Amino acid sequence: MFQVLVNANFDFMGKRNILLVCSLLVVVASAVVLAVHGINLGIEFQGGTELQVRFVESQDLGTVRSVLGDAGLRNYQVTTIGDPADNDVYIRVGLSGSEEEERDQVIALVLNALTPGELGDLAAAGVIDLNRTSQRELLNKLAAAPGLTEGDATLLAAAVLEARRENAIFRSMDELAGLPGMTPEVFDYLEKQATVGPFALRSQSFIGPAIGHELMEKALWAVLGSLAGMLVYIWIRFQFQWGLAAVVALAHDTVITLGLFSLFGMEMSLPVVAAFLTLIGYSVNDTVVVFDRIRENTRTKGSTMAFTDLVNLSINRTLSRTIITSGLTWIVVLALFLFGGKSLASFAFVLVVGTVVGTYSSIYIASPILVVWRSLVAKRAASKHLGRASAGRAATKKKVS
Amino acid sequence: MSTQLLWKFALIIGVIAVAVFYVIPPEERINLGLDLRGGAHIVMEVDTDSALQYELELNQSRIGQTLKERGISYESISPAEPTVMEIRGTDVSRSDEVREVLDQQVGRWAIRDLGSGDWRIVMPPEYRTYVENAAVTITLNTIRNRIDALGVREPLVQQQGMAGDRILVQLPGVEDPERAKDVLIEPALLEWKEVTYPPGVTDFGNWAPPVSREQAAAMFGGTLPADTELFPETFTAADGTLGTLWWPLKRVSVVVGNDLRNAQRTADEWGESQVSFELTSDAGRRFQAATQENVGRRMAIVLGGKAGKSVLSAPVIQDVIRDQGRIHGGFTVERAEDLALQLRSGAFPAQVNIIEERTVGPSLGLDSIKAGVIAALSGFIGVLVFMLIYYRLSGLNAVIALALNMLIVLGAMGYFGATLTLPGIAGLILTVGMAVDSNVLIFERIREELRLGKTVRSAIDQGFSRALMTILDCNITTLVAAFFLFSYGTGPVKGFAVTLTIGLLASMFTAVFVSRQIFELVLGSRSHRVESLSI
């Protein structure tokens, strides 16, 4: 049987003070990174416009930028995205990049700026751009093609759009030649009546300022709400201080993950907030598993063992489970990070980092807090007891004298 | 196999059968979100202030028309505040008649005679609320009508927001979001207005309107009459350059947008696209009166659009028109179709602004599906390989439970008609990462019990029963987080919360119950002594 850490017997609690201080330092460092570096907020939170465009030919970003500047836009970013061979360009325009009344027109402004003048002239002459055309426009065009029945035209239009869906863009008219239902006559007709424009639009988003504000507020409440939910649940199932210990560990995970998120300049979006909430829900599991074991051991061995040793024993006994489970989850989120594409990368990043930090915190934050709390309570009880005892003694002394 | 075990397996097979039933065929059962199939997600806000303005304009138009019919002269009717309008310069001697007209037209409003022929009319607050609510409802219906006319399959239109003044529209598979947006939010408020000719003009048909605001003002000797406003008309000159004409038009319209009964694209005698319309009988009566009065003069057709109001054309009225007419405007086929659609579906009673829009093209959606499936599969295979190597045959047990878990999640999604989004795919595979935790907890506990020298059977019993409370605690805490996720999220994030929740609930069944029954099946009857366990 393959096994890890069968008879692990590490003295986790022995180093608790050093590690608690180290953790505190890392949390402070993360907070500083957050304060200095800030978080790269996506348009969902800031408002603005976002477009992903695929070009036929490789683009010089400087040229794209100056074209947008000439169109009167300000406060925009242009970057490549994905595989460079795809010529995908990502354009983001901030809310302050245009006049208030035309904020929701920015998409049209950008698209017009990217469209060369010749294409506009061709469009005026009724020539359609196959990389941008709608199904209706294409159908209207094909309906007038020589030798096509209405049914043929519908089928051919569907075939053209399906090919565009597969390839995202037509790089030349020749790509149309092999499509099912294409005849030489229709192809000749299309060569005159259609063209392939320089780009295809892959996605577009516009978020107004009101939405961003709302989402930000909602995100904050959701995170705080789920932390409070954890506190209450563990309070009910265990005791208040156990819940508190778990929530401190969760806050620790959240802050450190946020710090790394900021350091790597990842972009905050709705799915990323979802990832943080998932992290909170997941990271608490390790803590709960250890807590459950501590409680069980307290019941069976509580009378013969010191609490610190009990905690150590419980962590050691659940250590193999903790490492295997975290490892398996890590495999899954790493796969998402590596293969999930750009939209899932920031989301998976939070979980890749959070899984590791969360595992650490359930061992080195939540349990030590329990131990520290216990010893503090014990000390206070002792000093109270001591105080009462000495007061009593003084009183007796008085009586005697 | 004991009868009890037989029943348990019957239950498991039943669950599998139901799940399979709701999964197959997947392309019909599983709804793909807009981020995967491509489409537009648009949130609009109804500007209720503009609804009040339109309401004022409509009443002004009615009052003006009636005063005119009664032959009562007045200087101007104009809005003073969002809910107040003022009439100036009516004939003082006929103020009883003016009040009668006002009582008849806007009886529930607060009407005040300011003296010397001026009137102030205030909209009551409850009527204001009514107008604001009606604006949202009518806009909602108008949008529904327009979407139906667009021919989008499976659209979603929903009222949203705290104030209920937001409208969410989802249009799956839309290839041309800009057009869809244009069609949806264009107010399409059509009005017919009389031209105010400058003093001294006699050849009404051939009069050339001014080309600038300044020129217009100069024509009227410096200032426009109070009842007149300038409206632009864009035209293309012979040399291809664009120019603007400024038409001086009466503020009060003869006919307003909602008076239309029908509109459609037709072709004129040269095959050029135009829009033909029909008016309601009431509007037709007013239109008849107005055209009768204006034969030989021009009347302007004004379209209120996103960019403000502009003149589409200003034809010379050749004859009395009752309830049918045509609009020329050098339209393309698509533009004429869209305009007819907008006019037909009704005008918005308010300005509508887009406050959020996300459109994913179908090709990007396809890429996302590929990436999501590759990521999910590689993660699943990673977990599977580890479980088989580390727990051997018991690992196989866990893998069966995990596969069943995924099947149940997909089946439940099919049953509820839930939508699978890209974050949802991530949620699906994350569920695997979390569900496997239950198996690991149980297996590690069984190993521990075995190490303590317990028999296989009691180790399994102890392993399952001891781990159960821990598993429950773990899953409930995650469900708490999923609850907040659901209440926070919109669209794709909600999809993620849904898959996560269903996955966790299913894992309680698969990892605890199903996995246990597989052990029972393999170990055979209770009386039989088992020496070793592949774990």
pLDDT band at A242, cuts 50/70/90? very high
pLDDT at B411: 93
pLDDT 10s digits, B216-266: 888 888 888 877 889 998 877 766 677 888 999 988 788 776 677 788 888
Return the higher-pLDDT residue of A3 and B294: B294
Q: Judge whether B535 is closer than 8 Å to chain A, CB to CB.
A: yes
Structure tokens at B527: 């009386």
Quote the DSSP letter at residue B316.
B
Query: Count of domains in chain A?
Result: 3
> A135 to chain B: which residues are within 8 Å by CB?
175-176
Alpha-carbon Rg for chain B in angstroms: 35
Q: Judge whether B282 is closer than 8 Å to chain A, CB to CB.
A: no
pLDDT at A100: 58
Would the CB atoms of A208 and B353 count as touching at under 8 Å? yes
Answer yes or no: do A213 and A168 share one domain.
Answer: no
pLDDT mean over B31-39: 88
Q: Between vectors from CA B51 to CA B47 and to CA B57, what angle results, nearest 5°?
A: 140
**ipTM above 0.90?**
no
Answer yes or no: do A246 and A350 share one domain.
Answer: yes
Q: CATH 1.20.1640.10: which residues of chain B?
A: 3-35+364-523
- Measured CA to CA, the distance from residue B442 to residue B435 in angstroms comes to 12
CATH of domain B127-359: 3.30.1360.200
Would the CB atoms of A278 and B500 count as touching at under 8 Å? yes
The beta-carbon neighbor of B364 closest among A52, A340, A344 is A52
First to last CA, chain B: 23
Structure tokens at A22: 């180290």
b/e for B48-59, b at 16 or more Cβ within 10 A?
A: bebbbbbbbbeb
Q: Is the pLDDT of residue B476 over 80?
A: yes
Answer yes or no: do A110 and A63 share one domain.
Answer: yes
Q: What percentage of chain B has pLDDT greater than the value 70?
A: 96
pLDDT band at B397, cuts 50/70/90? very high
Q: Between vectors from CA B485 to CA B479 and to CA B491, what angle results, nearest 5°?
A: 130
Answer yes or no: do A309 and A194 share one domain.
Answer: no
Domain B49-123 class, CATH top level: alpha beta
pLDDT 10s digits, A132-146: 888 878 888 888 888
Would the CB atoms of A274 and B423 count as touching at under 8 Å? yes
pLDDT band at A99, cuts 50/70/90? low
pLDDT mean over A64-86: 89
pLDDT band at A124, cuts 50/70/90? confident
* Under 8 Å between Cβ of B193 and B250: yes
Would the CB atoms of A221 and B488 count as touching at under 8 Å? yes
First to last CA, chain A: 75
pLDDT at A181: 85
Answer yes or no: do A195 and A298 share one domain.
Answer: no
Would the CB atoms of B382 and A137 count as touching at under 8 Å? no
pLDDT at B465: 92
pLDDT at B247: 92
Does residue A218 fall inside a structural domain? yes
pLDDT at B525: 62
Q: CATH 3.90.1070: which residues of chain B?
A: 49-123
pLDDT at B287: 84
Nearest CA in chain A to B39: A203
Q: How many CA atoms lie within 13 A of B172 on its CB side?
A: 12
Answer yes or no: do A367 and A279 share one domain.
Answer: yes
Helical axes A240-263 vs A342-361, angle rounded to 10°:
140
Q: How many CA atoms lie within 13 A of B337 on its CB side?
A: 11
Answer yes or no: do A192 and A245 share one domain.
Answer: no
Give the lowest-confidence range in A134-143, A363-372, B339-348, B368-377: B339-348
B-interface mutation test, from A86, A282, A294, most B Cβ less than 10 A away: A282
Does residue A295 fall inside a structural domain? yes
Helical axes A367-400 vs A16-37, angle rounded to 10°:
120
Would the CB atoms of A333 and B334 count as touching at under 8 Å? no
pLDDT band at A101, cuts 50/70/90? low
Give the lowest-confidence range in A26-40, B150-164, B358-372: B150-164
pLDDT at B306: 65
pLDDT band at B307, cuts 50/70/90? low
B-interface mutation test, from A343, A350, A359, most B Cβ less than 10 A away: A343
> A314 to chain B: which residues are within 8 Å by CB?
none
CATH number at residue A191: 1.10.40.60
Would the CB atoms of A218 and B386 count as touching at under 8 Å? no
Domain containing A106 equals 48-114
> A101 to chain B: which residues are within 8 Å by CB?
none
pLDDT at A401: 38
Nearest CA in chain A to B451: A6
Does residue A256 fall inside a structural domain? yes
Percentage helix, strand, coil for chain A under 3-state DSSP, each rounded to 5: 70, 10, 20
Answer yes or no: do A286 and A194 share one domain.
Answer: no
Answer yes or no: do A39 and A179 share one domain.
Answer: no
B-interface mutation test, from A9, A44, A203, most B Cβ less than 10 A away: A203
Out of A146, A167, A200, a domain closes at A200
The beta-carbon neighbor of B441 closest among A289, A332, A334 is A289
- How far does the CA of residue B166 sit from the closest CA of chain A (Å)? 11
Nearest CA in chain B to A46: B356
Q: Cis omega (within 30 of 0) on the bond before B492?
A: no
Q: How many CA atoms lie within 13 A of B140 on its CB side?
A: 16
Answer yes or no: do A271 and A246 share one domain.
Answer: yes
pTM across the whole model = 0.80
- How far does the CA of residue A42 sit from the closest CA of chain B (Å)? 13
> A254 to chain B: which residues are within 8 Å by CB?
none
Nearest CA in chain A to B383: A328
The beta-carbon neighbor of A289 closest among B364, B470, B493 is B470
Q: In this structure, which amino acid lies at residue A349?
A: F
Q: CATH 3.30.1360.200: which residues of chain B?
A: 127-359
Give the lowest-confidence range in A17-31, B45-59, B401-415, B447-461: B45-59
Nearest CA in chain B to A4: B390
Give the lowest-confidence range in A291-305, B31-45, B342-356: B342-356
pLDDT 10s digits, A255-279: 999 999 999 999 898 889 999 999 9
pLDDT 10s digits, B133-163: 888 888 888 888 888 877 777 888 988 877 7
pLDDT band at B389, cuts 50/70/90? very high
The beta-carbon neighbor of B426 closest among A132, A237, A336 is A336
pLDDT at B21: 93
Out of A164, A180, A200, a domain closes at A200
pLDDT mean over B194-216: 86
Interface of B with A in 456-495 (CB under 8 A): 466, 469-470, 473-474, 476-485, 487-490, 492-493
> A168 to chain B: which residues are within 8 Å by CB?
361, 363-364, 367
Would the CB atoms of A234 and B375 count as touching at under 8 Å? no
Q: Is the pLDDT of residue A390 over 60?
A: no
Q: Judge whether B267 is closer than 8 Å to chain A, CB to CB.
A: no
pLDDT at B226: 77
> B497 to chain A: which residues are within 8 Å by CB?
274
Answer yes or no: do A39 and A53 share one domain.
Answer: no
pLDDT 10s digits, B66-114: 888 788 888 888 888 888 999 988 888 888 889 988 998 888 899 998 8
Answer yes or no: do A268 and A335 share one domain.
Answer: yes
Q: Is the pLDDT of residue B279 over 50?
A: yes
Q: Domain B3-35+364-523: which topology?
A: Multidrug efflux transporter AcrB transmembrane fold (1.20.1640)
Sheet bearing B255-256, strands edge to edge: B255-256, B189-194, B299-305, B308-313
pLDDT band at B17, cuts 50/70/90? very high
Return the higher-pLDDT residue of B156 and B305: B156
Would the CB atoms of B368 and A341 count as touching at under 8 Å? yes
The beta-carbon neighbor of B366 closest among A165, A288, A336 is A165
Nearest CA in chain A to B431: A329
Q: Is the pLDDT of residue B194 over 70?
A: yes
The beta-carbon neighbor of A329 closest among B358, B434, B466 is B434
> A220 to chain B: which residues are within 8 Å by CB?
none
Out of A114, A136, A169, a domain closes at A114
Does residue A6 fall inside a structural domain? no
Structure tokens at A25: 């330092």
pLDDT band at A396, cuts 50/70/90? very low
Structure tokens at B401: 């439970």
Q: Is the pLDDT of residue A241 over 60?
A: yes
pLDDT band at A109, cuts 50/70/90? confident
pLDDT at B84: 92
The kind and range of the H/E element at A214 are: helix A209-237
pLDDT mean over B279-288: 82
CB contact set of B32 (below 8 Å; sequence gap of 6+): B365, B369, B419, B420, B421
What is the overall mean pLDDT for chain B? 86
pLDDT 10s digits, B452-470: 889 988 999 999 999 998 8
